[in-house]
Chain A
């Protein structure tokens, strides 16, 4: 895997660190230090993904994303020190595929890069999944075979975990209290179910989430229950 990735940030050290981490993973890395430079680099035909900082001199990241998107359909991950929800919404709605707030862990970043690349380069058309398969962002669940894939790669789940995933993937966005999950998956009345369910949820997260501490898919709704976020 020698896909080319463009890293754009006005902080050279951050670019250096990201580049080092990505090169270690075996990617080819292009470096740019402002928006204009990024636009110049983005013409490289080998380019497969862009990591873009938001606040940069000359041309800010979001504008650069817009202008790249006019010419090419590339996955873009936005890096920003702005962690407000509104900032994330703005970034995503301007054409970013993912939004990572600084400071980030390198492992999470590389995982997200991998995820985006898989979806764009390997899976091709995201919608081209077999009939009956529930697709949700990076995840795809086939209820007939009770199999789950993340970024096209199969996820190994235990029976209980498959039961929970089956329930949540069939009801995207719906919140289930722990007792209900217990009753449906274990098939018996709930008794002190919160802990038991939580343990399994945590395990599933470790298998499907890029950053299990800040889950994107399997979310807790505090005071109500658990749900599979609809992407």
Chain B
């Protein structure tokens, strides 16, 4: 029920919109054309007069009839109506009195106007059947016009009308022609012949039809102009009223639509769903055909335009023979002045004269058009609007057709051109791999270029051999291919521009991924040539993102694990160290006291190892806090040596330092870097061949400061072993000494400080180099 009502509402809304807009459109067109024309405005005001005898139409008619009657009385030349009396006697109307008689024959049957024409007080023409209008008016006639030879007196419903006003007749082009065009004004007087005439005219109140059966001559005739004048006024009024009512109804329906506009929108969308299925090309074609066939033609206006062009054309180019002759003459005069023989001038003119005329015409055509539009634009527009109003149904068909096919379709269907040949082609293209698609694109371009060249060639050939090409074929042979090629070019550049944009986006994305942004995905249009590429990149990125996240998580877990383990190790170790210390203070017998001492030493080593493991794992996961500051590399090495002087002395080795006196500024964390050299020198002291020399040198070269520790290993060094890896030691069999983490820690710390630690071995020569950029 509810949905049904909803559906009805949307249908009502749509119909109200359809009808309302149609009616409003018609009304607007009708009143637009009527109200912008002064003639129509006068007609409208006339048709709404209470008394038809007050209208300008009536005034004009009576004035002209009075003029006719006066002329008849004065024996002047009367115009009009002759053809009604074609009696087959050729010379009949050449005699004026016959024409006057014929006029009278015609007028007298129309009893809507009774008249008496006298000359020198002698009645000449009358249709009153002896009724003397001067004595009074017959029943039904209440409008009397009297011309007494000088002026006119009009009596309407027993009262005289004021005809002359201030006594002057004025030309009035507008709708307010209130003056009577009758003699008697100070500037509108009567000649001698006319002053002898007296006319009395009585006009009926309600015009009727009077038909006279002239069977003796031409059959039944009627001349009831007043009747039809009155009727025309009435029907005009009815037409105006009808349009007003229709427009009011249209406005009402439009209000209904406004109330139901949401429901109407649903109907629109339903329509759009329907039209969305139709191929775009079909819709465009239908719209074009609709406009072409249904739009009111402008042929009539074309003729008007032609007339106007002639009227406004410069004198020499007017397309008439006489104007052409003028030009012809000018040309001939010029040629004559140049001394060209007359017969040659004749020949030249016959060949070139008219061509030049048409050339001049073409030159000024634009200016002419501008002038025409400036002076007649409003009128032409009104003419065309009138044309539209006359073919209103056609206009409606075009209007609603375009509404349905174009406006509504484009409003609710996203990218309507996707449905159709274009969309199908695009989908078809997407089946090919990228490189093929791109090469196909180039192929199309090549084809278009080839087509153009072919045309140029054909055109040249046609020019050379003066091949006759019929005018209808020119469009097909040249225009269409050119258009096609232009379309291909446009398509190519459009697609290429999109391709470049997308390439830029992909490149930007690669850069972002490289910079470490693995979360933002690249979104390209689905029909993009690089869509697949972007999709792949997104997948790679996603994988990378997952891997990074997993690694971060596992690193964090590792650090947590190591922290926990080292904590858990430290607690029992505390007890071991404490109790060993307590034990060592007890008085013990010689073997036991030695054991306690060994226990103490091993406990200390374990303590150092736990701390090392903790630090190396933190450094490996990049969670080592470093405090970078400017320091003197040389001094750091000297301090380290001084600090380790006792150990060096105790080792029995000779240490040969080679450290420059001057400052070597670097940026590093001093505590960490001290640990690095403590480890390196400690290693050298621990693993060197007894009695050998350890070399420590600092060299600054090319903006880099390299400190190297070189020593001869006591054990044989395995070539290719990575000594900086965790738990790798020079001598696997040795159990005393370090944890196997010394170099690993040294490397981690060096890296954390922004330096580089390299370890090389050559035979038994072990070299560790710590390099920092000089600050």
Binding site for B on A (CB under 8 A): 11, 13-14, 17-18, 20-21, 24, 55, 81-83, 85, 102-107, 177-178, 194-195, 197-199, 220-225
Q: Are B579 and A13 in contact (CB under 8 A)?
A: yes
In the bound complex, CA of A78 to CA of B265 (Å) = 77
Chain A minimum-CB-distance residue to B567: A81
In the bound complex, CA of A113 to CA of B631 (Å) = 36
Within 8 A of A (CB), among B498-528: none
Q: Taking the complex as formed, is B577 at the interface, i.e. its CB lies under 8 A from any CB of chain A?
A: yes
Q: With A223-B636, A223-B670 known to touch, is A198 a contact of B574 (CB < 8 Å)?
A: no
Within 8 A of A (CB), among B250-294: none
Least CB distance from B754 to A in Å reads: 14
Q: Are A11 and B575 in contact (CB under 8 A)?
A: yes
- B611: chain A residues within 8 A (beta carbon): 83
Within 8 A of A (CB), among B647-669: 666, 668
Q: Are A222 and B674 in contact (CB under 8 A)?
A: yes
- B625: chain A residues within 8 A (beta carbon): 85
Q: Are A222 and B642 in contact (CB under 8 A)?
A: no
- Chosen A-B contacts, 22 in total, with CB atoms closer than 8 Å, are A14-B578, A17-B582, A18-B578, A21-B578, A82-B567, A83-B614, A85-B625, A103-B570, A103-B578, A104-B574, A106-B581, A178-B635, A198-B645, A220-B674, A221-B670, A222-B639, A222-B673, A223-B636, A223-B639, A223-B666, A223-B668, A224-B635
Partner of A198, one of B573, B577, B643, B671: B643
Q: Which 8 A-B pairs have the closest CB atoms?
A: A223-B631, A223-B636, A198-B642, A17-B578, A222-B670, A222-B674, A81-B570, A194-B638
- B641: chain A residues within 8 A (beta carbon): 194-195
Q: Are B631 and A102 in contact (CB under 8 A)?
A: no
Q: Are B642 and A102 in contact (CB under 8 A)?
A: no
Q: Taking the complex as formed, is B760 at the interface, i.e. its CB lies under 8 A from any CB of chain A?
A: no
Q: Taking the complex as formed, is B125 at the interface, i.e. its CB lies under 8 A from any CB of chain A?
A: no
In the bound complex, CA of A20 to CA of B581 (Å) = 11
- B577: chain A residues within 8 A (beta carbon): 103-106
Binding site for A on B (CB under 8 A): 566-567, 570-571, 573-579, 581-582, 585, 603, 607, 611, 614, 625, 631-633, 635-636, 638-643, 645, 666, 668, 670-671, 673-674
By CB atoms of chain A within 10 A, which of B567, B571, B574, B633 has the most? Answer: B574
Q: Are A107 and B571 in contact (CB under 8 A)?
A: no
Apart from A13-B579, A55-B567, 14 more pairs, CB < 8 Å: A14-B578, A24-B585, A81-B566, A81-B567, A104-B577, A105-B581, A106-B578, A178-B642, A194-B639, A220-B674, A222-B640, A222-B671, A222-B673, A223-B668
Q: Are A17 and B579 in contact (CB under 8 A)?
A: yes
- A81: chain B residues within 8 A (beta carbon): 566-567, 570-571, 574
Partner of A222, one of B571, B614, B636: B636
Q: Are A225 and B635 in contact (CB under 8 A)?
A: yes
- A194: chain B residues within 8 A (beta carbon): 635, 638-639, 641-642
Least CB distance from B154 to A in Å reads: 119
- A221: chain B residues within 8 A (beta carbon): 670
- B582: chain A residues within 8 A (beta carbon): 17, 20-21, 24, 106
- A104: chain B residues within 8 A (beta carbon): 574, 577-578
Least CB distance from B86 to A in Å reads: 127
Partner of A103, one of B607, B640, B643, B673: B607
- A18: chain B residues within 8 A (beta carbon): 578
Chain B minimum-CB-distance residue to A106: B581
- B571: chain A residues within 8 A (beta carbon): 11, 14, 81, 102
- B666: chain A residues within 8 A (beta carbon): 223
Q: Are B633 and A13 in contact (CB under 8 A)?
A: no
Least CB distance from B772 to A in Å reads: 11
Chain A minimum-CB-distance residue to B659: A194
- A220: chain B residues within 8 A (beta carbon): 639, 643, 674
Partner of B673, one of A17, A24, A105, A223: A223
